[in-house]
């Protein structure tokens, strides 16, 4: 398959059946289809409602059973290649239908339709849902070459790149050791910026990246930039989308520190709360500051990637007070082994 | 001699001021200038970390050339360059920027010299060699500016006095000058009222052919009778003076009152 070796092709896969957002979507779509069927089968709206309740009596138990089975088999199914996984899901659904048909006769009424009919309906619905998730994955994926390039360009702020190089150049003669360290930090940062960033990465790695980034900025800005790290309690093993925190720090420096001549403090809190991972970044901010468009773009970029990875289970909120701006990210606390 | 380099005894060294908010960038510029000193007689007259500092420095220390970073906190390089034009003998200006598409296009258009950071030695030499020959044009700077200035500036006894635009209560034109009134005092600036109106737009109300008043300073309007003639006057926050509203501008008053 030529497609699977193409680096730029969309690396598809079955949806994560343990994700609340995915489960909700399946539930909603199946019920909407049931309602559509009810409308087709009846003459008026009140008839449709009665019909819908009848259909639900059949559909809901099967739906709940299916969701439980999919969630249970999630890891197994997602380890398969996509086509095999999709066939397995359809087969699982057909098996559940058969079992339900045999064991749940009571619900089907006195003269049930032949089993083949239910098979066909279930297979069509399942296929439609899989197609929907596949299309949605493609739509949200930054995998298309142009989109990836754009995303890349948006992430490296040229202003940051050239000013950093300039700062390193200034160190080479007087402080060669600091220049070396700065170049190492830059290499680390750009390696990640240029990597294929579709897989989740350990939080520890992302925090290291943040430190490298701040190292470079402190070179340039000196005492003007102070950073408070509240990351001791951060779960190092948590998996996060790569570049989820660094661009937020970059924003904080660009909008909060650079426009002022007096020193300012950026603070970063990362902690786990039950099964959620929280990150809160705060920077000083003056309301009359300029370049808001750029800020929104970076935030929208991160919100979109969070959605791609975690669907409805992640969120990004912002709050701007009189003299501070705050971004608060919540995402599920995913660990290395159960990703 | 402090910060002086140079080979030629006959030619007066070029006095250069470095303005950049980032210390490493200033230090790099110093290193490069030291290398240029072999061919071009120059001395570093001083360094500043912001546009405002640069103005203070240049009011004290005359210089021939200012190397001016564009993106700086509080007052950017382009605004600083505009205020510098008020000096008795404005220095030549060469802008420096790491990346700024908009500014670079504008510089090209107006043939204003600029340096891209990281700066190359050869490029800096060229700029130094040309510096004395190319004075900056005020109108070109005005066109380049992206945002209205944060300050107006008046020249007083050889120094530049900055007036925050937020402090201005009214601007009144008489003959060659415009009077800038703040709660504290008056300043005279050599600018055109029409240009000021264009630059600051909705911040001011034109109540008379020769007068712009700050919207935020307007307390109200009052009808007055002077020498038997009735007219409207603006009452202003911070000053006791009243400004006449001309007959032709009465519509402005009505629009303002309507909100």
* Domains of chain A listed by start with CATH number: 20-140 (no CATH), 145-338 (3.30.565.10)
The 10s digit of each residue's pLDDT in B171-186 is 999 888 999 999 999 9
What distance in Å separates the CA atoms of residue B168 and residue A54, rounded to the nearest whole number?
75
- CA neighbours closer than 13 Å in the CB half-sphere of residue B1: 8
Distance CA B22, CA A217 (A): 10
- Neighbouring CB atoms inside 10 A of A328's CB total 15
Paired residues of B160 in beta bridges: B155
Average pLDDT over residues B118-146: 84
User: C-alpha distances in angstroms, A120 versus A19, A61, A247?
Assistant: 27, 18, 49
**Chain A closest-CA separation from residue B144 CA (Å):** 17
Mutation target for A interface from B56, B98, B150: give the one with most A CBs within 10 A. Answer: B98
Q: What's residue B146's pLDDT? A: 78
Half-sphere exposure of A69 (CA within 13 A, CB side): 16
User: In a 3-state reduction of DSSP, which class is residue A274?
Assistant: coil
- Chain A residues with beta carbon closer than 8 angstroms to that of B20: none
Interface test with A, best of B22, B55, B124, B146 (most A CBs within 10 A): B22
Q: Are B119 and A173 in contact (CB < 8 Å)?
A: no
In A, minimum Cα distance to B49 occurs at A261
CA-based nearest residue to B159, from B61, B66, B93: B61
Name the phi and psi angles at A12, rounded to 5: -75, -175
Mean pLDDT by 10 residues, chain A (339 residues): 38 81 92 90 86 87 91 88 90 90 74 83 91 82 53 68 91 91 92 79 93 93 95 92 90 91 95 95 77 66 82 90 92 78
CA B237/CA B220 separation, integer angstroms:
9
Half-sphere exposure of A209 (CA within 13 A, CB side): 23
Q: CA-to-CA distance for A90 and A124, rounded, in angstroms?
A: 9
Q: Say if the Cβ atoms of A258 and B119 lie within 8 Å.
A: no
Closest to A30 in 3D by CA, of A72, A57, A53, A60: A60
Mind listing the domains of chain B with CATH numbers?
A: 3-144 (3.40.50.2300), 151-258 (2.40.50.1020)
A172 vs B139, residue with greater confidence: A172
Give the sign of the dihedral formed by CA B47, CA B51, CA B53, CA B58: positive
Residue A264 per-residue DSSP state: E
Cis peptide bond N-terminal to B118, omega within 30: yes
Only one residue has tokens 């339900």, namely: A100
| Residues B192-213 pLDDT 10s | 999 999 999 889 999 999 999 9
Contact assignment for A171 to B73 by CB distance below 8 Å? no
Contact A163 B98 (CB under 8 A): yes
Chain A residue with minimum CA distance to B119 = A166
Neighbours of B101 (CB within 10 A): 9
User: Nearest CA to CA, how far is A162 from chain B (Å)?
Assistant: 5
Å from A280 to nearest chain B CA? 26
**What is the value of ipTM here, to two decimals?**
0.77
pLDDT of B50 reads: 92
B50: chain A residues, CB-CB within 8 Å? 261
pLDDT at A6: 37
Q: What pLDDT is recorded for position A155?
A: 66
pLDDT at B8 over 80: no
* Residue B183 near chain A (CB below 8 Å): no
CB spacing of A159 vs B100 below 8 angstroms: yes
Of residues A159, A166, A259, nearest to B28 (C-beta): A166
Nearest CA in chain B to A167: B24
What pLDDT is stored for residue A287 in this prediction?
Answer: 67
* Mean predicted lDDT score pLDDT of chain B: 89
pLDDT > 70 fraction of chain B, expressed in percent and rounded: 95
What residues of B are in contact with residue A258 (Cβ under 8 Å)? 71, 73
3-state secondary structure string across chain B: CCCECCCCCCCCCEEEEEECCCHHHHHHHHHHHHHHCCCCCEEEEEEECCHHHHHHHHHHCCCCEEEEECCCCCCCHHHHHHHHCCCCCCCEEEEEECCCHHHHHHHHHHCCCEEECCCCHHHHHHHHHHHCCCCCCHHHHHHHCCCCCCEEEEEECCEEEEEEHHHEEEEEEECCEEEEEECCCEEEECCCHHHHHHHHHHHEEEEECCEEEEHHHEEEEEEEEECCEEEEEEEECCCCCEEEECHHHHHHHHHHHHC
- Chain B CB contacts of A170 below 8 Å: 24-25, 27-28, 31
């Amino acid at each position: 398959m030529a497609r699977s070796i193409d680096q730029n092709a969309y690396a598809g896969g079955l949806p994560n059946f343990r994700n609340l957002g995915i489960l909700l979507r399946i539930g909603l779509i199946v019920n909407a289809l049931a309602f559509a069927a009810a409308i087709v089968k009846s003459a008026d709206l009140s008839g449709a409602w009665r019909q819908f309740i009848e259909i639900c009596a059949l559909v809901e138990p099967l739906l709940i059973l299916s969701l439980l089975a999919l969630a249970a088999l999630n890891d197994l199914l997602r380890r398969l290649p996509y086509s095999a996984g999709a066939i397995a899901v359809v087969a699982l659904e057909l098996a559940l239908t058969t079992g339900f048909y045999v064991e749940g006769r009571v619900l089907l009424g006195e003269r049930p339709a032949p089993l083949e009919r239910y098979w066909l309906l279930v297979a069509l619905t399942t296929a439609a849902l899989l197609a929907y998730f596949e299309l949605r994955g493609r739509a949200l994926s930054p995998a298309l070459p142009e989109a990836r390039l754009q995303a890349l360009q948006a992430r490296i702020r040229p202003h940051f790149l050239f000013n950093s190089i300039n700062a390193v150049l200034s160190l080479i003669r007087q402080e060669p050791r600091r220049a070396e360290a700065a170049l190492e930090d830059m290499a680390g940062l750009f390696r990640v910026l240029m990597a294929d960033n579709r897989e989740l990465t350990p939080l520890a790695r992302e925090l290291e990246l943040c430190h490298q980034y701040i190292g470079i900025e402190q070179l340039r800005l000196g005492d003007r930039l102070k950073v408070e790290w509240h990351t001791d309690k951060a779960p190092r093993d948590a998996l996060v989308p790569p570049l989820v925190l660094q661009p937020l720090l970059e924003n904080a420096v660009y909008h909060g520190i650079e426009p002022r001549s007096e020193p300012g403090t950026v603070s970063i809190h990362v902690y786990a709360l039950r099964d959620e991972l929280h990150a809160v970044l705060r920077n000083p901010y003056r309301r009359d500051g300029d370049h808001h468009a750029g800020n929104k773009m970076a935030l929208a970029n991160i919100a979109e990637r969070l959605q791609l990875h975690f669907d409805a289970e992640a969120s990004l909120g912002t709050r701007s007070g009189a003299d501070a701006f705050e971004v608060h990210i919540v995402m599920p606390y995913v660990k290395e082994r159960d990703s | 001699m402090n910060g002086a380099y140079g080979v030629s005894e006959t030619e007066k060294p070029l006095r250069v001021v470095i303005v950049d908010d980032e210390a490493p960038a200033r230090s790099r510029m110093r290193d490069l200038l030291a290398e240029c000193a072999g061919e071009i007689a120059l001395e570093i007259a001083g360094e500043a970390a912001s546009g405002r500092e640069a103005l203070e420095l240049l009011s004290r220390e005359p210089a021939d050339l200012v190397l001016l970073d564009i993106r700086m906190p509080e007052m950017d390089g382009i605004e600083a360059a505009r205020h510098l034009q008020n000096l008795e003998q404005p220095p030549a200006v060469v802008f420096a920027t790491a990346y700024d598409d908009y500014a670079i296009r504008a510089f090209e258009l107006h043939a204003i010299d600029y340096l891209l950071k990281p700066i190359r030695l050869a490029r800096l030499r060229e700029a130094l060699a040309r510096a004395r020959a190319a004075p900056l044009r005020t109108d070109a700077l005005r066109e380049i500016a992206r945002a209205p200035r944060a300050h107006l500036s008046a020249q007083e006894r050889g120094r530049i006095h900055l007036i925050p635009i937020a402090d201005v209560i009214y601007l009144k034109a008489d003959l060659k000058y415009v009077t800038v009134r703040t709660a504290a005092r008056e300043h005279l600036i050599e600018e055109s009222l029409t240009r000021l109106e264009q630059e600051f737009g909705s911040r001011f109300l034109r109540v008379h052919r020769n007068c712009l008043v700050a919207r935020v300073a307007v307390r109200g309007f009052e009808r007055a009778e002077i020498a038997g003639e009735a007219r409207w006057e603006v009452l202003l926050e911070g000053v006791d003076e009243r400004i006449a509203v001309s007959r032709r501008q009465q519509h402005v008053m009505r629009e303002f009152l309507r909100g």
